[in-house]
Amino acid sequence: MKQYLEKAKLGGTAVAFYGASLDSPDDLAEELDRCIINGVVDDKASPALSDIRRRIGNMQEQIKQKLDALLKRNRDWFSESFVSVRNGRYTLPVKREHKSNVPGTLVGLSHTGGTCFIEPVSVGRLNT
């Protein structure tokens, strides 16, 4: 904008003289370069963002631990022994015949319909 207004001065346009009051965006460019790395806002862009992302990571770890414990305690209920993420929610692959054993929200079904992907109630509270 500043360069454009400099060129406009040559034409004697009155609005062109507003360019003198514009500050250079160099400081802003440096701050953006510091905060955005490879197109992603860096965790350390601000102390608040760093804290929020740390808390999100801790919560995700708690969710995974709860689900892993449930998987280990009741192996025969599940078609697989891993946690999956469906529609941004942590789910367990529950065999259709055991879906009533896992209280929670049905997030999806397998292509064959033999597996129900359920977000357990205990995890759903943590995931909000």
- Greater confidence (7 vs 82) lies with 82
pLDDT for 58: 93
71 vs 102: CA distance, rounded Å: 11
- Please, what is the average pLDDT of the chain? 87
Pick the more confident residue, 64 or 27.
64
Tokens standing for residue 27: 């400081």
pLDDT of residue 10: 75
Average pLDDT of span 29-37: 91
Structure-model confidence comparison of residues 8 and 71, the more confident one: 71
Q: For residue 106, list its beta bridge partners.
A: 118
**CA–CA distance, 99 with 85 (Å, rounded to integer):** 17
